[in-house]
């Protein structure tokens, strides 16, 4: 990372610790999700049907005959697990909505690292509670306690919002910012991919408890890097003055309601972001249940492999070609490719009947997560530097709403259709990807009608001629 001076700050090697923080955070977050999902199924199976052969750890049968007792037991466990997932997502995301709505504005005032410390601390505490629950083997509904602690700190999406605001502080408008946001996405993908690769081996090799200890250790490392290694992104004199919590919340959404020549662009971009998030965020929670169910009946190792491959192809390989795509296409066009990729992959997943079809899904959908860095970059380039924290806080709130709606909706649909047509939920995801593509086409048409530039930064002394040279 070359040293780069601009009106937003200085890009230094030490800023690279941000990628390490979020890599560890996502590693711990996804690993906890994979461990929790499989532990819930394992625990419910033993609790609901203690005398069943399915409660044995060495059972490998996968009977698809709906008239058998084995099939009925498996379906009952799947429905209960899907219902519990609804409660988990509610208690995690509702507090996160409140926190994320103000955390971006607070980071504009107090600095990114202080607020990132708060978020990583809450996540660390939640992983400690998670480990205790698994160790004691108590009722799985106590997982609601651990998830609400994570939600109070804003969770993954607040951490990402602060991270992307941090990147905006140290980069200039244009392709440099898009590239750095994309690199950060790739770092996140590496952490998430590693969690997928190791989760199955940890669960099968040393058990659920030690897997939860690994989650706790990774979250602790993320917190320590923030506290001791990550520098501030902006000097104190460029931080905003004291503002109320209400003003911080309002600032996160003013872009979409305040009259301005760019309001329509803001609305189209954030709507496409939300709809695209609806099409993606609910997949992991029902995906594990889908893979544990007939006709796949995967082991923990295979579930982990699939998660790792899915994340690797979309967040590492897909992100790696962004620099090439940027030479020929604008951000919204790359986002359209992402929507098409998601549409086709979700359709294939809905009709998958064997392992080969299911493993082809990541290859087809390797572009689907490019939607996130592209729309984040679009929104960031429309926004002045001293409002980046507020912007990404609003984006985090939108992402949390989408995460909550997608997970609750997907779990409800899966629970209602698992005994009729289990792939129905993926057809819903495919239709949402199609709608995302249409919204980005609308943005493309709107963008072509006029050229706009972000308002000059109020806290910075930037010549008007320099601002006019910035392009979307």
Which of the four pLDDT bands, split at 50, 70 and 90, describes residue 457?
A: very low
Pick left, alpha or beta for residue 410 (phi over 0 → left; psi -120 to 50 → alpha; otherwise beta). Answer: alpha
The DSSP symbol for 329 reads -
pLDDT in tens, 41-82: 999 988 888 877 665 544 456 766 777 888 888 889 999 999
pLDDT in tens, 346-381: 999 999 999 999 999 999 998 988 898 899 889 988
**Residue 295: is the preceding peptide bond cis (ω within 30°)?**
yes
Distance from C-alpha of 179 to C-alpha of 202, rounded to nearest angstrom: 34
pLDDT recorded at residue 35: 94
Distance from C-alpha of 180 to C-alpha of 261, rounded to nearest angstrom: 27
Q: Are 168 and 177 in contact (CB under 8 A)?
A: yes
Q: Are 446 and 438 in contact (CB under 8 A)?
A: no
Contacts of 293 (CB under 8 A, 6+ apart): 74, 75, 78, 418, 422
Q: Are 276 and 405 in contact (CB under 8 A)?
A: no
Closest CA to 252 of 443, 92, 398, 96: 398
Q: Are 373 and 185 in contact (CB under 8 A)?
A: yes
pLDDT in tens, 408-428: 999 999 999 998 888 999 999
Which of the four pLDDT bands, split at 50, 70 and 90, describes residue 176?
A: confident
Residues in the chain: 472
* Residue 382 predicted with pLDDT over 60: yes
4 C-beta neighbours (distance < 10 Å), count: 15
- Annotation: CATH topology of 14-48+74-233+244-449: Growth Hormone; Chain: A; (1.20.1250)
- Cα separation values, 276 from 252, 270, 272, 369, 428, Å: 20, 10, 6, 9, 12
Report how far apart the first and last C-alpha atoms of the chain are (Å, whole number): 24
Q: Is the dihedral of CA 121, 126, 132, 134 positive or negative?
A: negative
Q: Are 190 and 23 in contact (CB under 8 A)?
A: yes
* Residue 471 predicted with pLDDT over 50: no
Q: Which of 271-280, 346-355, 425-434, 451-460 has the lowest mean pLDDT?
A: 451-460
* Residue 13 predicted with pLDDT over 80: no
Mean pLDDT in residue range 433-452: 83
Half-sphere exposure at residue 240, Cβ-oriented, CA atoms within 13 angstroms: 22
């Amino acid at each position: 990372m070359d040293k780069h001076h601009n009106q937003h700050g200085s890009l230094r090697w030490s800023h690279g610790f941000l990628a390490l923080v979020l890599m560890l955070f996502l590693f711990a977050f996804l690993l906890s999700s994979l461990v929790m999902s499989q532990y819930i199924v394992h625990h419910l199976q033993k609790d609901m049907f203690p005398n069943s052969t399915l409660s044995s750890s060495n059972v490998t049968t996968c009977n698809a005959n709906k008239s058998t007792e084995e099939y009925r037991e498996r379906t009952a466990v799947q429905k209960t697990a899907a219902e519990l997932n609804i409660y988990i997502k509610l208690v995690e995301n509702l507090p996160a909505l409140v926190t994320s709505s103000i955390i971006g504005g607070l980071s504009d005032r107090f600095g990114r690292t202080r607020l990132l410390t708060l978020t990583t601390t809450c996540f660390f505490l939640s992983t400690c509670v998670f480990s205790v629950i698994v160790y004691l083997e108590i009722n799985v509904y106590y997982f609601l306690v651990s998830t609400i602690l994570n939600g109070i700190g804003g969770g993954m999406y607040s951490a990402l919002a602060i991270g992307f605001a941090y990147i905006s502080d140290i980069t200039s408008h244009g392709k440099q910012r898009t590239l750095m946001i994309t690199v950060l996405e790739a770092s996140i993908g590496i952490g998430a991919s590693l969690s997928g690769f190791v989760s199955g081996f940890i669960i099968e090799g040393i058990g659920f408890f030690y897997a939860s200890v690994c989650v706790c250790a990774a979250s602790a490392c993320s917190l320590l890097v923030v506290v001791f290694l990550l520098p501030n992104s902006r000097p104190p004199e460029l931080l905003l003055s004291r503002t109320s919590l209400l003003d911080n919340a309002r600032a996160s959404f003013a872009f979409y309601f305040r009259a301005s020549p760019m309001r329509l662009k803001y609305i189209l971009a954030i709507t496409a972001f939300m709809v695209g998030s609806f099409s993606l965020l609910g997949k992991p929670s029902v995906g594990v249940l889908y893979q544990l169910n007939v006709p796949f009946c995967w082991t923990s190792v295979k579930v982990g492999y699939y998660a790792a491959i899915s994340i690797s192809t979309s967040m590492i390989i897909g992100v790696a070609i962004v620099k090439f795509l940027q030479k020929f296409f604008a951000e919204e066009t790359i986002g359209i490719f992402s929507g098409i990729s998601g549409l086709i992959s979700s359709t294939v997943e809905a009709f998958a009947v064997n392992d080969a079809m299911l493993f082809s899904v990541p290859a087809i959908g390797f572009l689907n997560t490019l939607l996130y860095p592209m729309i984040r970059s679009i929104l960031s380039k429309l926004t002045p530097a001293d409002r980046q924290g507020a912007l990404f806080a609003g984006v985090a709130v939108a992402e949390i709403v989408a995460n909550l709606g997608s997970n609750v909706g997907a779990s409800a649909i899966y629970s209602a259709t698992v005994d009729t047509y289990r792939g129905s939920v993926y057809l819903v995801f495919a239709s949402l990807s199609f709608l995302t593509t249409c919204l980005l086409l609308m943005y493309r048409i709107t963008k072509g009608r006029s050229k706009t530039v972000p308002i000059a930064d109020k806290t910075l002394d930037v010549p008007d001629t320099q601002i006019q040279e910035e392009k979307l």
